Structure 1
Amino acid sequence: MSAYDAGAIVVLEWPESVRKRPGMYIGSVDERGLHHMVCETVESAANEVLSGRATRVEVALTADGGVRVAHDGVHPYDLAQVLTTLPAGWPAGHEDRRRIAWGGTLPAVVNALSARLVAEERRDGVPARQEYARGERIVPSAGEDLADGTAITFHPDPEIFETVAFDYPTLVEHLRELALLNRELDITLTDERTTPPRTERLHHPAGPVDFTTRLGGDPADTLTLRTTDERMHGTLELALSWTGGGGVHCYANSRPTDGGAHLAGFHDGLAAALGRPDPPAGLTAVVSVKLDRLDLEGATRRTLGNAPVRACVAEAVRRAVTDRLVARPRPASG
């Protein structure tokens, strides 16, 4: 056997460190990974809205096959560094509960996997423009006269992806989900590949109530709950309809989960309030927690592991459902 020592280690520099193993960052290089690129960029912009630095997000599928994501705020960090540096993790003390997890942590990955990326920003009337080709900085060309704000336009690299054709309905559904879970978000998606262009505004001030309604629940008979519990270092938002049959949908920091502490807590609280272990048939519910420290478990990172969440959610759900049943009794069967 040949010896294995430090000399056998190959260190990949930027951007080959991403381009060599794209699946490590976006999951796959098929349509799912392609749309993940859009989601990362949109979620980065959405986090600027949730942090109070912007008010709206505009997304366009451009006629030449690219994606443009713009918001009316200014990025708090140096764009050149963000677009060429992989994050090593969250800084100590960082609070995540207002943010979409982990939206905005991988703009460098989007850059490395794009044949071309253009970043534009205007601060107090002063424009700046950066251009990249497959993650490498190039001399910028003349750009549009951008209003105050930030815009990222990228074209996925056909050398990396199996397809570079975006599916409009898939993106609409994902962006709608973000808007339903974050009532502050106002997102516009435009498909400029069609004539005339088609546009959809995704803005849901009613939040999860609109979500359960879309799943078949009755908005007039939906129990809602919004609470902060520092024991779990986060917030809980619940919308529960006894009708619709849409099932229970769980989210952690606006990302869909397969279960975990929040789902277990929901079932614990519901069982305690109803005096029965099995949920009523026809139930439709959305359970959304937003936490400062998100602990996702499992191979696909889709199971919430934060232990304090279970007891906190159970207590809040038990109290809310009990109060509702006292005010408006419902049959225990079903």
Structure 2
Amino acid sequence: MSEYTAANITVLDFDESVRRRPGMYFGADAHLATSVLTAVVIASLHPGPRVAPTGAPEVTVEILGELAFSIGDNWPTGPDGSMAGYYDSLLTSYRWVHAAAAAVSTHTTVETWHGGHGLRQDLVGLRPTGPAHDVDAPGGTGTTLTYHLDPSYFTPSTLDSPSLDLHAEGCCDLPGQYRLRDLRSTTS
């Protein structure tokens, strides 16, 4: 029997950890794409206290294709609109579930705005393709993320509406609501 030592330990970057074992982050469900969507919706509805909006979270989800969706909410990527995140991306540790979803995506677009300043960044997996660049900021505070899930992790899975109760009993003082639009039926 061999001895277990520190030499037997492999330290993985966050994105590699997610790709190796997506079930640890999203659940071991046969419908992994829907589990990713559900996890991201739950995370957007339950921001940490340092980034939570002053009112209830407002979340809009659009299913764009079999493995593509966008999610918008009314809170920044970090406290006070701070932007330093994973691998110099706009996804901060306050959005770790969103970052995990980016890790199993072929590409992700992040747009975030706060205090009249807006930024946009494209990611391949969780890695930025370049620095964030300025965009026109709508009023208020918010973030929109568009994910294109990697088919090598999700075949033959497709997206369905989140079917779980998104709020546990007594989970929130101000439970947020989400709107879902499935745009697949409107495209040819």
Alpha carbons 1:30, 1:163 under 8 Å: kept: no
Structure 1 residue 61: Cα displacement:
0.6
Structure 1 residue 22: Cα displacement:
1.8
Q: Tell me which residue corresponds to 2:160.
A: 167
Distance 2:105 2:48 in 1: 25
Alpha carbons 1:60, 1:191 under 8 Å: kept: yes
Aligned length: 173
Alignment of 1:1-334 (within 5 A): 4-28=4-28, 30-31=30-31, 33-48=32-47, 51-53=52-54, 55=56, 56-63=58-65, 65-77=67-79, 78-81=82-85, 83=91, 106-139=97-130, 147-148=138-139, 149-168=142-161, 171=162, 173-174=163-164, 177-178=165-166, 184-195=175-186
Secondary structure class of the residue paired with 2:107: strand
Secondary structure class of the residue paired with 1:62: strand
Q: Aligned AA for 1:178?
A: L
Distance 1:120 1:110 in 2: 15
TM-score (norm 2): 0.72
Q: Tell me whether 115-124 or 42-51 shows the greater mean CA deviation.
A: 42-51
TM-score (norm 1): 0.43
Distance 2:168 2:29 in 1: 28
The CA RMSD measured in Å over matched residues stands at 3.5
Q: Aligned AA for 2:148?
A: H
Secondary structure class of the residue paired with 2:37: helix
- Which structure ranks higher in relative contact order (CA pairs < 8 Å, sequence separation ≥ 6)? 2
Q: In the TM superposition, what whole-angstrom CA distance separates every residue of 1:163-218 from its partner, at most 9, and x where no partner exists?
A: 352124xx2x43xx33796774332110111128xxxxxxxxxxxxxxxxxxxxxx
Structure 1 residue 116: Cα displacement:
1.2
Structure 1 residue 131: Cα displacement:
1.9
Q: In the TM superposition, what whole-angstrom CA distance separates every residue of 1:281-332 from its partner, at most 9, and x where no partner exists?
A: xxxxxxxxxxxxxxxxxxxxxxxxxxxxxxxxxxxxxxxxxxxxxxxxxxxx
Q: Which runs of 5+ in 2 are unaligned?
A: none
Q: Aligned AA for 2:69?
A: V
Change (3 A) 1:18 1:48: closer
Structure 1 vs Structure 2: percent identity of aligned residues? 26
Change (3 A) 1:188 1:81: same
Q: Aligned AA for 1:155?
A: H
Alpha carbons 2:120, 2:134 under 8 Å: kept: yes
Structure 1 residue 67: Cα displacement:
1.1
Q: Report the structure number with the largest CA radius of gyration.
A: 1
